[in-house]
Amino acid sequence: GAGVSQTPSNKVTEKGKYVELRCDPISGHTALYWYRQSLGQGPEFLIYFQGTGAADDSGLPNDRFFAVRPEGSVSTLKIQRTERGDSAVYLCASSLNPGQDNGYTFGSGTRLTVV
Amino acid sequence: AQSVTQLGSHVSVSEGALVLLRCNYSSSVPPYLFWYVQYPNQGLQLLLKYTSAATLVKGINGFEAEFKKSETSFHLTKPSAHMSDAAEYFCAVRFSGSARQLTFGSGTQLTVLP
């Protein structure tokens, strides 16, 4: 597609539930990143994919968070047993290749609210 | 620890006035530096980047930033503010050895007064 697409744009879930957030990167972009932006703060790195594999998952806060990219394009961020502290905007970004330092193209994000 | 600091969470300027948004980073090795802008309900958009070429970098919408190694700074400026510049601005750094992740500052909300 023309840009990075994230769905849903908004998600409200109850504490303890499981959620999936989807990211559709720009066609042909091999690198994909997930960030989390809490209210009043800058985005924080979660995980980076190069192709199908997670090249760096050091930002995932705990084992309730998991992300996949099975075919090297669309990625899904999965959060188990959601907590109120997980409420944030989850941003996805992609870039043509990891060696390209042109910055990333970000999606508009998914606003997750855990009640 | 490597960090990015944006001084001033809120900055207000009059239309036509100089815009100056400050960014400092902590690293002994010059990193890659970026400025992003975020309009309400939109994704982050790249304004400009420094990747070890010219220290004065020009970006979109009339913005520019100067890398000063001695001050570990990368301040964003625009000579004359426009109403459409009102947004949140983030400084981001890719530190040496940190793979591809960016470390963001906490952001500066720019308000432009008529």
pLDDT of residue B99: 63
- SS3 readout for chain A: CCCCEEECCEEEECCCCCEEEEEECCCCCCEEEEEEECCCCCCEEEEEEECCEEEECCCCCCCCEEEECCCCCCEEEEECCCCHHHCEEEEEEEECCCCCCCCCEECCCEEEEEC
Q: What is the pLDDT of residues B89-108, one digit of tens each?
A: 999 998 877 667 889 999 99
A chain contacts of residue B96, beta-carbon cutoff 8 Å: none
Q: Check pLDDT > 70 for residue A98.
A: no
CA distance B93 to B34: 6
What pLDDT is stored for residue A102 in this prediction?
65
With CB atoms and an 8 Å threshold, state whether A106 touches B41: no
| B-chain residues near A103 (CB < 8 A) | 34, 36, 46, 49, 92, 102
pLDDT at res. A69: 96
> Which pLDDT score is estimated for B4?
93
**Residue A100 in this model has a pLDDT that exceeds 70:** no
Tell if the CB–CB gap between A106 and B32 is shorter than 8 Å: no
Q: Would the pLDDT of B5 be above 70?
A: yes
Phi-psi region of B71 (alpha: psi -120 to 50; beta: other; left: phi over 0): alpha
Task: Using pLDDT thresholds of 50, 70 and 90, give the confidence band for residue B30.
Answer: confident
CB B8 within 8 A of CB B108: yes
Max intra-chain CA distance, chain A:
40
Of the candidates A56, A93, A101, which has its C-beta nearest B99's C-beta?
A56
Mutation for testing the B interface, residue in A36, A108, A111 having most B CBs under 10 Å: A108
Q: Is B69 helix (H, G, I), strand (E, B) or coil?
A: helix
**B37 min Cα distance to partner chain A (Å):** 11
Residue range A60-93, pLDDT digits in tens? 999 999 999 999 999 999 999 999 999 999 999 9
pLDDT digits (tens, 9 = 90+) for B39-85: 987 889 999 998 777 889 999 999 999 999 899 999 999 999 999 99
Nearest CA in chain A to B98: A56
Distance CA B36, CA B27 (A): 20
Is the predicted pLDDT of residue A107 greater than 80, yes or no?
Answer: yes
